[in-house]
Chain A
Amino acid sequence: MRVLGLYVERDTPVHKLAPFTKLMYAVTSTVVTFLFPSITVGILFLVLSVFLNTIARVLKHLIALLMVVSVLSISIFLIQGMFYVGNYTPLFSLLRLTFYKEGLLRAVVLVLRLFNMISAFGILMLTTRPSDLIDDLVRRGLSPNVGYVIASVLQIVPQMLSTATRIIDAQRSRGLEMNGSFHKRFKAFLALIGPLVLGSLLEARERALALEIRGFEARTKRTFLKDFSESKR
């Protein structure tokens, strides 16, 4: 079954860590880089995060994730370089636009912070099966209902996207125009989202019935299929 997520199957020490440990690293390193906005702290954590991604042999996938925010990063450099409040020392001019030292340094901090956030969460996302993370969290006291909602989202989204593709095909075969003026395309949007919403809500109602029949609302202690190894405290 197709499940939403970035998990990359490998056999490395990082993959074997308890999911909760990786989640805590991601949260901690993100919070610390926000609390200490210095270039040194930023580089320190970015290097550590990239190092862990290298051990996990998912560096290639991490770079793909970082490419997603490349536009934001470039725009941070341009705008902070030119318009940062504390800009004082001109560094260089390009096509009559002046870039300032303070703004560019600020941009370095911001981009390091952004890259670290993505690398740190990258470790979690690339090396942990989403279902394992949910299992581990439920074991540590997360409500099973919340666990269900998250697991269900991860399954439903790919399903609904493939339904969406089918609806596009079905409506086009009935002559739906996907090109033309904004008005035309917006009307096409309505013709596509309408059937999808109705269909998925009907399915949801059936799913609710099926779950209740199988004791979803039972309030007993749950047991787990998998175990995670973790060092003793």
Chain B
Amino acid sequence: MLRGKFTTAVLVLIPVAVGINYAGKFFAEALKLPLWLDSIGTILAAMLAGPVVGALSGAFNNIIYGLTAGPFSLVYALTSVGIGLSAGGLHRSKMFENMLRTILSGLIIALVATAISVPLNVVFWQGQTGNIWGDTLFAFLRSKGINVWIASFFDELIVDLIDKFLSVVVAFAIFRSLPKTLIYTFQRE
């Protein structure tokens, strides 16, 4: 699968991206931030080495998390792949050139993540996310007779929007401060 297509530098980058995801979550918990911030590594890998590497980092992240902590995160590997692909694609299309574009990219990535998670939530857990705030909103919307899909969309969106948006901004800030020689190491072409 990965044979021949990837340089050693890229293969080494993927585990580091997963490590950055874990560390982001760890720091967020240490600071008691009401966020996960656990996709910064995926986004950075996508910016450094392109959408495919970003997608792979996301997939490996959830597979490893699923196999070592909680299997239900396996389900959301698709969401992580979507985040990696969209972050890489947006970076290729120069959507991280300035702050305004980055903000727009952050919103796009958050929407992509939500759009992928919602069908998974509906199929696997009848629309719930397991997040207390999101599920409270979900229960409220359902009690008003609102469609499962729409209720689940908002359930996921309030959870994801700020989190993914800030993750993108952090990744962008870090990427801009990296030395150019380091960036070239991981670029594929």
Contacts and interface: CB of A to CB of B under 8 A. Distances in A.
B30 A79 contact: no
Contact of B70 (A65, A78, A146, A198): A65
A82 interface: yes
What's the dominant secondary structure at chain B's contact region?
helix
B126 A160 contact: no
Contact of A110 (B2, B31, B69, B126): B126
B15 A146 contact: no
Contacts of B12: 152, 204-205, 207-208, 211
B142 interface: yes
Contact of A78 (B14, B126, B139): B139
A204 B13 contact: yes
Nearest to A114: B72
B28 A189 contact: yes
B13 A79 contact: no
A154 interface: yes
A79 B138 contact: yes
Contacts of B182: 198, 201-202, 205
A121 B71 CA distance: 7
Contact of B68 (A5, A160, A186): A5
Interface string B96-127: 00000000000000000000000000000110
Interface stretch (A38-46, A69-77, A225-233): A69-77
Interface string A148-170: 11101111110111011000100
A216 B7 CA distance: 10
A1 interface: no
Contact of A200 (B20, B60, B69): B20
A190 interface: yes
Interface string B156-189: 0000000000100010011001100010011000
Contact of A146 (B2, B66, B132): B2
Nearest to B33: A185
B181 to A, nearest CB: 9
B52 interface: no
A64 B18 CA distance: 24
Given A79-B128, A198-B178, A189 B31 contact: yes
Interface of A: 4-6, 30, 65, 68-69, 71-72, 75-76, 78-80, 82-85, 106, 110, 114, 117-118, 121, 124-125, 130, 142-143, 145-146, 148-150, 152-157, 159-161, 163-164, 168, 178, 182, 185-186, 188-190, 192-194, 196-198, 200-205, 207-208, 211-212, 216-217
